[in-house]
Structure 1
Amino acid sequence: MTNIVLLVGNLGADPELRTAKGETDIASFSLGTSRVKRDSDGKTYKDASGFTAKDTEWHRVTCFNGLGRIVAQHATKGMLVSVKGRIHNSKWTDKDGVDRYSYEIIADDVQFLTRPKASDDTPAESDAEPAEPELV
């Protein structure tokens, strides 16, 4: 049996990077995916402005080590990304004795479908020194 998920959506916020006790880097971000909203007859639902309405679902995505560092360095809020991974569920009991459940996507691969932000090491074009004219 296989547990594989493939999501394409937009980041809801900049990724957060933290380091666990064993020196494991962990990046987390929220990913919004949308689908067309349908009425009770299964027809596409239009909003008051005449635009096709959409339902958005939010997914929590976690990346580890090298992938986590790359995502944290280059991904920004609003970017379109593709995430391939697996669904991981957790169960715990809260302080009131109620069983709680959460689900997250453990990413194996993240592809940037829009341009990543520029690295801090890369000077912007306006900051770069003008090239010397070549003498012939």
Structure 2
Amino acid sequence: MLNRVILIGRLTKDPELRYTSAGVAVTQFTIAVDRPFTSQGGEREADFIPVVTWRQLAETCANYLRKGRLTAVEGRIQVRNYENNEGKRVYVTEVIADNVRFLEGKKDNGDARGNHGDTFQDEGTPIDISDDDLPW
């Protein structure tokens, strides 16, 4: 049996970091993942997928992920349920991530998080390389 998922999408808001009563870090966030087709009206649709991370990964995500950032998530799908205040059974499907990759460099927006610029800001401009620099 296999339960494995890989998603690439953008965060819909900043991650929420909490700690369990035992002191274990847990972070929750949602990523928007584009569907591979458009609706009948020609509009692109997306799925909004909840993600949970634990321990050191949770703290790393809380420190470095922000709303809008392109992110890859690898983990497993988990379905849990509980009884709400009205006595109805509620089912929650989420991805429990064991690997999260930050796919974009930090933007230079002058914020207080210490961002130092976009690593790929000059992407697409010609680079001056001589024939002597090429390995072939």
TM-score, scaled to structure 2: 0.74
Equivalent in the alignment of 1:2: 2
Equivalent in the alignment of 1:32: 32
1:14/1:117 Cα in 2 relative to 1: closer, same or farther (>3 Å)? farther
Equivalent in the alignment of 1:112: 102
- Larger radius of gyration between Structure 1 and Structure 2: 1
SS of equivalent to 1:90: strand
1:97/1:38 Cα in 2 relative to 1: closer, same or farther (>3 Å)? same
| Structure with bigger RCO (C-alpha 8 Å, 6+ apart) | 1
Q: Distance in 1 between matches of 2:15 and 2:70?
A: 13
Q: Distance in 2 between matches of 1:112 and 1:124?
A: 16
TM-score, scaled to structure 1: 0.74
Provide the aligned C-alpha RMSD in A.
Answer: 2.3
Worse-matched range after superposition: 93-102 or 68-77:
93-102
Superposed CA offset, 1:40-76 (max 9, x none):
xxxxx52xxxxxx211111110101111111110010
Identity over aligned pairs, percent: 29
Q: Distance in 1 between matches of 2:23 and 2:6?
A: 28
Equivalent in the alignment of 1:103: 93
1:74/1:116 Cα in 2 relative to 1: closer, same or farther (>3 Å)? farther
Question: How many correspondences in the alignment?
Answer: 114
- Does the 8 Å CA contact 1:74/1:117 hold for their aligned counterparts? no
- Does the 8 Å CA contact 1:76/1:116 hold for their aligned counterparts? no
